[in-house]
């Protein structure tokens, strides 16, 4: 297994600086220069020396570790790590990506470096249930969700006004029922929008169309869906009414990545709420909407902060 967490933390108070920088950071005109912050995520086969190599690299490039999390999966033999670090002025993300490649190659890492302040560009997709859409729009505007919503996409026009009230462009992409041609045209339009707007994440905020295998394969790990998966026995329409008929005691929701296998993608977050025998179908619907909003918002937030790493059919979430 890789070294204990303390190896990464041990660099925090002893980080080197680039030439010209003092122990408290480079100064100009008597004022401390602003240090940029970055997020490094990686996964690789687990072996000795990974934490030491990463922390030594950061030390030698004048960086300071602000926070570090790691996990070694004994079942898969894989190691996962997320490091939040700061760097002196002059250390750009391009330089970091170029110089870290040697470390990454030596451990066969799948790795990424992102500016911590960079807001992920997101498209929200919705059909005719707007609770998750409204929740994500509000969280983004209030600053609770660190994303830029590039557009709202829907196969209906119900929420065009809601999108406009938040100043977000609305795109109506209709899908004719039972028409494969219409579905293909709609997905082609969606892909064009994603490319034109430099979108990094697509969120299915109660979007009720099944995405094609082709689209799922083109956007692996970039589509998040919300699903009432704590009701696995209740298929089809009106699942909460079916749950009421069966007298369920828990209402839940699951946020997961979308794959070609319907509702089988890696789980990011789950939320559950206990309900009593006195709850009506309408009350179950209300509870269900609330837990759907909570689970989806957390999943989008963690993904946008680069806290979620894929581990086969599962995820590692450094929340």
The sign of the CA dihedral 14, 40, 292, 313 is: negative
121: its two tokens? 């560009």
What residues are labeled active site? 263
273: its two tokens? 């709420």
- CB neighbour list of residue 63: distance below 8 Å, 6 or more residues apart: 15, 38, 85, 86, 87, 88, 91
CA angle 7, 41, 264 (to 5 degrees): 125
Strand 78-87 and strand 110-115: pairing? unpaired
- How many alpha carbons lie under 13 Å from residue 51 in its C-beta half-sphere? 21
In terms of Cα–Cα distance, which of 4, 2, 7 is closest to 65? 7
């Amino acid at each position: 297994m890789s070294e204990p967490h303390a190896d990464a933390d041990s660099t925090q108070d002893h980080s080197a600086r680039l030439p010209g920088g003092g122990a408290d950071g480079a100064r100009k005109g008597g004022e401390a220069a602003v240090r940029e912050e970055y997020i490094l995520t990686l996964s690789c086969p687990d072996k000795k020396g990974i934490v030491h190599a990463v922390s030594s690299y950061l030390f030698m490039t004048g960086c300071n570790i602000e926070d570090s999390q790691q996990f070694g999966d004994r079942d898969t033999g894989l190691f996962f790590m997320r490091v939040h670090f700061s760097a002196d002025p002059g250390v750009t993300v391009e330089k970091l990506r170029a110089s870290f490649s040697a470390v990454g190659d030596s451990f066969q890492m799948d790795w990424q470096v992102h500016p911590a302040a960079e807001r992920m560009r997101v498209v929200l997709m919705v059909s005719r249930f707007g609770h998750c859409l409204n929740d994500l729009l509000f969280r983004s505007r209030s600053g609770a969700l660190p994303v830029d919503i590039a557009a709202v996409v829907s196969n209906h026009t119900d929420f065009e006004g809601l999108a406009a009230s938040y100043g977000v462009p609305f795109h109506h992409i209709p899908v004719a029922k039972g028409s494969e041609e219409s579905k293909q045209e709609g997905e082609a339009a969606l892909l064009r929008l994603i490319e034109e707007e430099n979108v990094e994440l697509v969120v299915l905020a109660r979007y009720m169309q099944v995405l094609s295998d082709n689209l799922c394969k083109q956007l692996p790990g970039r589509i998040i869906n919300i699903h009432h998966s704590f009701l696995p026995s209740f298929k089809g329409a009106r699942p909460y009414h079916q749950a009421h008929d069966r007298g369920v005691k828990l209402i839940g929701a699951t946020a997961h990545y979308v794959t070609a296998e319907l509702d089988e993608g890696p789980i990011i977050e789950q939320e559950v709420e206990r309900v009593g025998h006195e709850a009506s179908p309408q009350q179950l619907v209300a509870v269900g909407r609330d837990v759907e909003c909570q689970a989806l918002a957390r999943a989008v937030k963690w993904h946008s902060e680069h806290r979620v790493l894929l581990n086969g059919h599962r995820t590692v979430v450094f929340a």
